[in-house]
Amino acid sequence: MKSAHFTKKALSLFLSLLMVLTLLPVMGFVFTPRAQAYGTYTKNYTTEYYYASGTTFIEALCVGYDSSSASTVRNQMTEAGWTPVSNFLDMMQSWSGTKNIYVGYKTTTNPANALTDIEFFDSDDAHSNYDWHGKNSGWANKNTGTDTCNGTSATGVKDKTTGIVFFRAGGSPMTAYSRDGIVDFLMGMGSGYGYEYLCATKNRSAGAAITAVDCFSGTSSGWTMATCLARGCTAHSSAHGHSTRYVGYKRLTVTVDSAALRSNYTTALNRYNESNYSAKYTSASRTVLQNALTTAEGILSDLNDGYTTSNQTAINNAATALSSAVSGLTLNTYTVTFKGYTSGTTVGTLKTQTVNWGANATAPTAARTSDAANHYTFSSWTGTYTNVTANQTVTANYTTAAHTYGNYTSNGNGQTATHKRTCTVCGYAQTATHTWNAGSVTTQPTCTGTGVKTFTCTAAGCGATYTASVSAKGHTPTEIAAKAATCLAAGNNKYYKCTTCNKYFTTSACTTETTVAAQTIAQLSHSYTGAIKNDGNGVNGTHSFKCVNGCNQYGGAVTHTWNGGSVTTQPTCTGTGVKTFTCTVSGCGATYIETVNAKGHTMQEIPAKAATCLAAGNNKYYKCTTCNKYYTTGDGTTETTVAAQTIAQKSHSYTGEVKNNENGTHSFKCVNGCNEYGGTVDCDYDTEVTPATCLEDGFTTYTCKVCGYTYTDNVTIKLGHDYTVYLAEVTPATCLANATATYKCERCAETTVKEVP
């Protein structure tokens, strides 16, 4: 079963590789072959079982006996490659001796090769009359076959067809057993007495594969047992000392339900086997379906013999994956490209449409088009665009006819304009450029105005025109130089006179006309707005200004205008400052000053702080927040420095309380502010000896005199009792027991009873 499954997977891998390497162009698309052919699987057994990978099953049984030694049976069984069970069956007969019976087994990891049922029992009836507990429908009669039971002399393989070997220690070798069918064996316990029977089957309908087997007497929890007590032989068993013996076995118990998986597998396989499968569905959704089919097939193939290593969760997941893969199959899309005339006879794409597999595309409207000679009218399509199953190109067909033109008309006046004529059928317009004559001046130019030259198209019936400018003659200006007006005489602006047209202009370009009067500048009055002159400093001083209109005299004297002043010399805590006021009139620069009072100290107390082992300290002193100087007193009479008032940081002083370090040392707390422990020293111990007794070990206790740390050492082993003294009379010996006497320990008075040699 497992090797066949591996072969199918190897074939699947080969076909998958072939699919990737083989690309066949078919009808405009790439057809991808199926990855593999999946099988169909029938549920062969009503009940299907789960087993963990690597589980071992009982494949064959071996039964042996020896009258004198169970170990002889066990050793011979082991040497032959069988595994003995943990217990052996002791069958004692007062007239025929002990029969030491061992059951051995061989295992397989394939549940299809496992035993499925076992029967073990004894009977006083002749073995030829036994009917297998009425199980003739499922079990063969014990005498059926080529090797029948042989009474008390049975020593070899009893039935070669079903997986049980029987032997007597020292007898025939254990070399044969079978893998299927039915077996029985008989071991006689004496002429006409106590026949032992064992039969087994591998018939799948008998039950689930057996995973373990053992022999024992009485009952055992967790095992399925068949009693070996004979049917209706209670008196015989009691009279001959038979005990109740069992061969027990365990089967697989965990079942699985593959109904949903099988149903979903059939549905998915039907989709996979559709004739248009590869072309119809997308590669991604086909991959999902095929992966789900491969997983499901592995489980169903494994279930052919009714057993699987896939648990119910894995089976359910595989069923769900199949259902999701089927519902997730996505139709492939294909492109339909409609080709036709796009500019005259130029072929281009009129429309591109994407449609699902099997759907219809919608054809576009193929408009009539033209070139310089003809016009083209759509007539039909060549190609398929319904029930699309591959990429398609559909081409438009056209009828051809020459243009029929009317007269030319002008498209508009202008040098670069055109005239045209139009096809009376399709409206195609044929255009051409105008043909112009040499032109004539229709408006003469002046100094400032351009003239006009008109050109006319010589093509008959067109009548289009265009005009060109004739450049103006231009002025011939003469400059009249500028002269400034002063408080002493009038002046004028610079201006120009054209000697052609005798007009006056403000610029040499002669763009703005003017008059002589308009350019004259009247004589000025005095304007004392020039440079300022300081007539003298002081609160009541004045300043005057120069005339800017040509005479350069000073006048218009006024008093200074003072600003709010600014401190030019800052006052200190003990010294006065200076405040300077300046005339705000630009260019004057006059000033006067006033005195600014001293500020006085603003003292901040720095409180005293004791020095510790963590930081330095300081004496009390003062800081002026105005001048940032330090003083010994708050009145600011004696200056000092921060360094002069600093008290140096202290060192650690480990003189405080003691701490036990529990490692044979102790340390002390620092009293200079940090509270850390230091000054670690070894403990100084007192000792106390506890001697050993008969029942307790002795030891020495060590206790530190300073911190109280304690530990024990120098252990001496307990002495034990020393029984050397009789405390009572001797109890005399008997045939079966030695004499005894009571002894007392000489150290602790404990007593005991001992044998007297």
Tens digits of per-residue pLDDT, 57-79? 998 887 777 766 778 878 877 87
Residue 477 tokens read as: 């200006």
- Give the integer Cα–Cα distance in Å for 57 and 3: 18
Residue 26 has pLDDT above 50, yes or no: no
For residue 246, what pLDDT is reported? 64
Q: Which of 77-81, 348-352, 448-452 is the most confident on average? A: 348-352
Please indicate whether residue 136 or residue 283 has the higher confidence score (pLDDT): 283
Between 38-47, 623-632, 738-747, the lowest mean confidence (pLDDT) is in: 738-747
3-state DSSP helix/strand/coil % of the chain, to nearest 5: 15, 40, 45
User: Residue written as tokens 């595989």?
Assistant: 318
Q: Which of 73-87, 173-187, 625-639 is the most confident on average? A: 625-639
pLDDT digits (tens, 9 = 90+) for 544-578: 888 888 888 888 888 888 888 898 898 988 888 99
For residue 506, what pLDDT is reported? 87
Average the pLDDT over 537-545 and give the result.
85
Between 159-163, 448-452, 603-607, the lowest mean confidence (pLDDT) is in: 159-163
For residue 273, what pLDDT is reported? 93
Please indicate whether residue 648 or residue 413 has the higher confidence score (pLDDT): 648
Between 97-101, 399-403, 416-420, the lowest mean confidence (pLDDT) is in: 97-101
pLDDT digits (tens, 9 = 90+) for 464-499: 888 888 888 888 899 888 888 888 888 898 989 888
Four-point Cα dihedral 34, 35, 36, 42, nearest 10: -90
For residue 574, what pLDDT is reported? 82
For residue 753, what pLDDT is reported? 83
Handedness of CA 119, 122, 128, 132 (dihedral sign): negative
- Give the integer Cα–Cα distance in Å for 702 and 700: 7
Three-state DSSP state, 292: helix
Residue 521 has pLDDT above 50, yes or no: yes
Please indicate whether residue 14 or residue 324 has the higher confidence score (pLDDT): 324
Residue 283 tokens read as: 């590669």
Residue 389 tokens read as: 């199953």
Three-state DSSP state, 352: strand
Confidence of residue 166 (pLDDT cuts 50, 70, 90): low
Please report the beta strands in 365-480, taking only residues with DSSP state E, as ranges in sequence order.
Answer: 369-370, 374-382, 392-402, 409-410, 418-422, 429-433, 440-443, 451-456, 465-470, 477-480
Residue 171 has pLDDT above 60, yes or no: no
pLDDT digits (tens, 9 = 90+) for 88-102: 665 444 344 556 677
Confidence of residue 147 (pLDDT cuts 50, 70, 90): very low
- Which among 723, 717, 719 has a CA at the least distance from the CA of 746? 723
**What is the pTM (predicted TM-score) of this model?**
0.45
Confidence of residue 727 (pLDDT cuts 50, 70, 90): low
User: Residue written as tokens 């600011």?
Assistant: 636
How many other C-beta atoms can be found within 10 angstroms of the C-beta atom of residue 610?
Answer: 12
- Give the integer Cα–Cα distance in Å for 166 and 312: 40
pLDDT digits (tens, 9 = 90+) for 219-264: 444 555 443 333 222 222 222 334 456 677 788 999 999 999 999 9
How many other C-beta atoms can be found within 10 angstroms of the C-beta atom of residue 108?
Answer: 16
- Give the integer Cα–Cα distance in Å for 702 and 654: 26
Judge whether 9 and 38 are in contact, CB under 8 Å: no
**Distance of CA 143 to CAs 90, 160, 181, 199, 477, Å?**
26, 13, 14, 12, 153
**Residue 183 neighbours by CB under 8 Å, 6+ apart:** 158, 159, 161, 162, 163, 164, 198, 199, 200, 201
- Give the integer Cα–Cα distance in Å for 23 and 13: 17
Residue 633 tokens read as: 């007193």
Residue 293 tokens read as: 């089919």
Please indicate whether residue 467 or residue 318 has the higher confidence score (pLDDT): 318
Residue 18 has pLDDT above 80, yes or no: no
- Give the integer Cα–Cα distance in Å for 750 and 476: 158
Confidence of residue 637 (pLDDT cuts 50, 70, 90): confident
Confidence of residue 20 (pLDDT cuts 50, 70, 90): very low
First to last CA, the chain: 74
- Percent share of the chain, pLDDT over 70: 77
pLDDT digits (tens, 9 = 90+) for 128-141: 333 333 333 333 33
Residues in the chain, total: 757
Residue 398 has pLDDT above 70, yes or no: yes
Average pLDDT, the chain: 78
- Per-residue DSSP letter, 180: S
Q: Which residue pairs, CB below 8 angstroms and at least 24 apart, start in 471-474?
A: 471/445, 472/445, 472/446, 472/447, 472/448, 473/445, 473/446, 473/447, 473/500, 474/447
For residue 687, what pLDDT is reported? 92
pLDDT digits (tens, 9 = 90+) for 374-392: 999 999 999 999 999 999 9
Confidence of residue 87 (pLDDT cuts 50, 70, 90): low
For residue 325, what pLDDT is reported? 96
For residue 607, what pLDDT is reported? 95
pLDDT digits (tens, 9 = 90+) for 690-713: 998 888 889 999 999 888 889 888
- Per-residue 3-state assignment (H helix, E strand, C coil) for 190-226: CCCCCEEEEEEECCHHHCCCEEEEEEEECCCCCCEEE
